[in-house]
A and B are shown apart, each in its own frame.
Chain A
Amino acid sequence: DAGITQSPRHKVTETGTPVTLRCHQTENHRYMYWYRQDPGHGLRLIHYSYGVKDTDKGEVSDGYSVSRSKTEDFLLTLESATSSQTSVYFCAIRQGAYNEQFFGPGTRLTVL
């Protein structure tokens, strides 16, 4: 258990509404990641953070923004949710010399 929690665990929202997902970790890990997982696509990196206020884009960052104002929290925001953003979202932390990543429990987001 890497001490990662995600909230909410499930959310249903409507197209055009803003949505924020939260990832919280308790072990002071420097690196944190947001992925989405979709059938046929596997896990794809959205954004990542390498420290407080230090973030960068991943493979599928369009339509998403992130913030990290303190070490333990990494927020993913969908400014105006679209149906194509219906997915399962996983947060991960990195630890170890070779960048092993460990995942949170996931958030299932449905955009109607």
Chain B
Amino acid sequence: DQQVKQNSPSLSVQEGRISILNCDYTNSMFDYFLWYKKYPAEGPTFLISISSIKDKNEDGRFTVFLNKSAKHLSLHIVPSQPGDSAVYFCAASPQGAQKLVFGQGTRLTINP
């Protein structure tokens, strides 16, 4: 029962271009969404989040978009840099609960 899905296991983008990572969810009770970035042999690092009452949140090169009707969110990185190469996890928090439900991750590779 995968409530948060990242359907693209990998993505390759040219340096300087836009990277778009996608995430779909099935549980309408999720009210908070987060993106984490993970390097090998390290723990996930928080990137950006969005509440379900918003449809966009921006922080520097990172923007998260939320489409509640489609139960879809996306992370845009522009411009992409070589240091952005990592695995990106989408996560969601159910209303009233503290746990995070993670997607399977998307491995982003930025090519020079």
A and B co-occur in one complex: no
Please report A residues at the B interface, Cβ cutoff 8 Å: none
